[in-house]
Structure 1
Amino acid sequence: MMNIRARTAEALKLRRPAEFEPHAKTWMAWPHRQDLYGARLPTMQQAYAEVAHAIAAFEPLSMVVHPDHTETARAMLATGIDIVAIPIDDCWIRDSGPTFLKGSDGSLAGVSWRFNAWGGKHAPYDADNALAEKLLAHEGAAALRSFIHCEGGSLATDGEGTLIVTETSLLHANRNPGMSKAWVEQELKRMLGLEKVVWLPGDPLDLETDGHIDGMCCFVKPGVVMFEYNPDPADLHGRILADNLAALLRQTDARGRSFEVIPIPEAYDVEATSEIFARSYINFALVNGGVVMPTFGQPSGEEAKAAVARAFPDRRIVSVDVGAVTPAGGAIHCITQEQPL
């Protein structure tokens, strides 16, 4: 019997590349759940198509589509977009899809985390729990199975051994009950080939993801992060963001560097239309030579775009209106998953 260590990134000398590194392609998953999205589904599908087309201008894009809905997707997507028919429950592939890894020999692998729809918030989720391994098999990539519940939106990596995560998500009783912080940290290191996990307190107000890191923070390059803020000192979520930033600044990365921070506003002037509305500009997708970011048509968007331009001066920035997506609790980063080159 194979030693359990033989199926870890640590043992197989695999690495989790940073999102700012070159991609082979981006993956998305097509929304189809009338029971979840109701009358908003057509506009949500249109927003997904617009994000897909924006990304496809920079790099190849593959869209996972439930086999019963391929005709609808094909009619709305450009011919250059690859449709991959796999049964799915929902459309948040950052969380249900694999976390890709690369070997020192250039081989492709990925982690298949356990997925329970953010702590059982939606059902069914069996097909989404099986998606990572099916997608990896489609790509001919090895699958590493983890014993923890984890979503890709929980993870921010620098490609040099550092991971930033939040306690409210990964340590929530609806994900990994009875599991200590040390156990979860050890599993993250083993699965992703990491040296250091930086824990932030997270966001107890986030009713959907329980405070995913991709709603507040991302790596620009090793040692440098973007971090969201709210300029209103009375705003409760702004204080939560400030507490998380303070926690980050007390720590160092795997190379002993203090973190340099580039601030970016959240969509503070956008009216939330649901309890789980994603008011995040940092929830963008890095693509080859570009950044595809959310826009809401408000002044804060221009501030956010200027911050992204400062962070990524060599990338072209494209904004996409995802107002039909954000009431469901996520934005562009949540609906995409990059496959490294």
Structure 2
Amino acid sequence: MAEGATPPRIDCRMPAEWEPHESTWLAWPHHRDDWPGKFEPIPWVYAEIIRHLSRHERVDLIVNDAASEKQARKVLERANASSENIRFHRWPTDRIWTRDSGCTFVKCGAGAAARENRGGHDSSRARNDASFTLSSRAKRDPSLANDPAQSVFSTEPYSLFAIKWHFNAWAKYPNFQRDEKIGSHMAHATHARKVRPLFGKQRVVLEGGSIDVNGRGTLLTTEECLLSK
């Protein structure tokens, strides 16, 4: 794309959590300071979570290295949670909060929007150089006020995009360089097109745990959790 050219409009949608999905992303616990004096049972709690999840969908499990994977497999086996539905990724992390440090997956293209909500979802502009510029919201469709559980979603083809937010460890911890790379690793592993949100020339920080969406254009958050000074 020539410099200064208007990027093409791409309609995208972030699905709601209750919609069917292929996988849940987790990272195996290792940073003891996140549970001061209470770390010992935490791996077993994660094993129980994985045991239930892997019965219904794939679990993409991030581990620091081969030794961490071996330890995780040992706990999972002892907890009767070992499954072929678990896919390991050896990516070093500072902490394990993948909802905050990981990317946000969105569906873009003809099959991205809910059938009952054509034209009512957000529109964004993407550049070929994998940057992402925030655009104005599309006008709301009155059907957005309906119960989202009643919506019927399109089965048309779509492209998977990975929104790679900038992660700065909640502006609280100095060690976040490994976690800042996790979203890029996730995008590569899923063959999703990575886009990086920009506001002007600045990277946008957004922890995934600070928002919730219904998949039809409504987003919930709080000023205290999301907005900076």
**TM surpasses 0.5:** yes
The residue that corresponds to 2:68 in the other structure is 69
Identity rate of aligned residues, in percent?
A: 33
Greater share of residues in helix: 1
Shift in Å at residue 37 of structure 1? 3.7
Distance 1:23 1:4 in 2: 36
1:85 aligns with 2:83: no
Give matches, 1:143-292, under 5 Å.
Answer: 143-146=194-197, 147-173=203-229
Q: Which runs of 4+ in 1 moved over 4 A?
A: 1-7
1:46 aligns with 2:50: no
RMSD between aligned alpha carbons? Answer: 2.1
Unaligned runs of 5+ in 2: 77-81, 112-156, 198-202
Shift in Å at residue 20 of structure 1? 1.2
1:141 aligns with 2:139: no
The residue that corresponds to 2:171 in the other structure is 119
Distance 1:151 1:163 in 2: 14
Distance 1:118 1:42 in 2: 25
Give matches, 1:274-313, under 5 Å.
Answer: none
Bigger RCO of structures 1 and 2 (CA < 8 A, at least 6 apart): 2
1:95 aligns with 2:100: yes
Kept in 1, the 8 Å contact 2:165–2:206? The answer is yes
Name the TM-score, length of structure 2 as normaliser. 0.67
Shift in Å at residue 69 of structure 1? 1.3
Distance 1:13 1:144 in 2: 14
Aligned residues: 169
Distance 2:87 2:50 in 1: 11
Kept in 2, the 8 Å contact 1:32–1:90? The answer is yes
Unaligned runs of 5+ in 1: 174-341
Shift in Å at residue 38 of structure 1? 5.2
Q: Are the structure 2 counterparts of residues 119 and 82 from structure 1 closer, same or farther at C-alpha, using a change threshold of 3 Å?
A: same
The residue that corresponds to 1:234 in the other structure is none
TM-superposition CA deviations, 1:226-258 (whole Å, max 9, x none): xxxxxxxxxxxxxxxxxxxxxxxxxxxxxxxxx
Q: Tell me the SS of whatever aligns to 2:41.
A: helix
1:128 aligns with 2:127: no
Shift in Å at residue 48 of structure 1? 1.0
Name the TM-score, length of structure 1 as normaliser. 0.46
Distance 2:3 2:163 in 1: 18
Distance 1:163 1:107 in 2: 22
Amino acid at match of 1:50: E
Kept in 1, the 8 Å contact 2:102–2:183? The answer is yes
Distance 2:185 2:88 in 1: 14
TM-superposition CA deviations, 1:71-118 (whole Å, max 9, x none): 111212213221111121111111111111112332211111111112
